[in-house]
Amino acid sequence: MTSSILVTGGAGYIGSHTVRALREAGRRVVAYDSLELSEPSAVGDTPLVVGDIADHELVERTCREHDVSAIVHFAAYKNVGESMLSPGKYFRNNVDGTVRLLDAAVAADVRQIVFSSSCSVYGTPAVVPVDEAQPVHPESVYAETKAMVERVLRWYDEVHDLRSISLRYFNAAGASFDSAIGEDWTYALNLIPVAIRALLTGDQELQVFGDDFPTPDGTCVRDYIHVDDLAAAHVAAIDHLADGGDTTAVNVGTGVGSSVLEVLGAIEAVAGKPVPHRIVARRAGDPVATFSDTTRSRQLLGWRAQYGLQEIVETAYRWHLTQLERGS
């Protein structure tokens, strides 16, 4: 039997796009998800195991039954604000749950992991573009859980020969080009789905946190990466490990920064009407500008982003429009 790749959080936003990318690349895939914040329809006819990553017996059995050779690990809570209010929830699930997952993987003789990390491990970067040599300095419980798991993974390589790549990605956005899967704005906190929701439903006004930053238009600058590009990076990371690559961490971004007002302008151009918004005070801890140095992802993984803000906004808008139409 050909080996499989297990994708935890496989029915989630980035997970479902990665499941699709892996299958399109000819890989056998098994999705694993608690379905707490996702729907089984997101994985289509891909085999889906419903369970918790902390369930050692279920993870080990799944790995053995499907001859899993590598795991792509997305399953985690990711609300920064919530993490500061309920730190225990995040340490239990994101860190302890991952340790239990890794123990089950080792027991099933799985020795390759691609981990969904985050550029938030850097905190407020001293220099942009951000490269992997910059110090890890988390500024939220969520970011700390990602940094802790990266350290755990380095030790599991040392002790168990479990090699891993931690992908520190920037702002995932957009949807599949056929509008089959995308980000559910019910759970989303990110700028693009929240702005599109404000435009399409009118049920809320978008808040822009500050317009007095030292940027060309006064609003924060971020690196937005299309979710299909991000999925492709996970496929490249699996291939790198399969070829004997060492445990490491790699930034995944476009290297291009877009301001909040630039993003709103792109959405308005696609929709043909304005995004209802108002400027409010700065939010504590928001970096002025963050975007990726892409050198290492190109050199190590042979990967670079193919899409820009235009494709991100167009696919996201089509997806949300389709969802509204299906619900009507």
Residues annotated catalytic, as ranges:
142
Q: Cα–Cα distance between 95 and 83 in angstroms, integer?
A: 13
| Nearest partner of 255 among 173, 195, 169, 188, judged by Cα | 169
Q: How far, CA to CA in Å, does 173 sit from each of 103, 170, 315? A: 32, 10, 9
SS3 244: coil
| Nearest partner of 186 among 83, 39, 32, judged by Cα | 39
Residues forming beta bridges with residue 6, ordered by sequence position = 30, 71
One-letter identity of residue 57:
E
Is the link from the previous residue into 274 a cis peptide, with omega within 30 of 0?
Answer: no
Q: Cα–Cα distance between 318 and 328 in angstroms, integer?
A: 15
Q: Cα–Cα distance between 78 and 68 in angstroms, integer?
A: 26
Q: Cα–Cα distance between 128 and 290 in angstroms, integer?
A: 6
Q: Cα–Cα distance between 139 and 119 in angstroms, integer?
A: 11
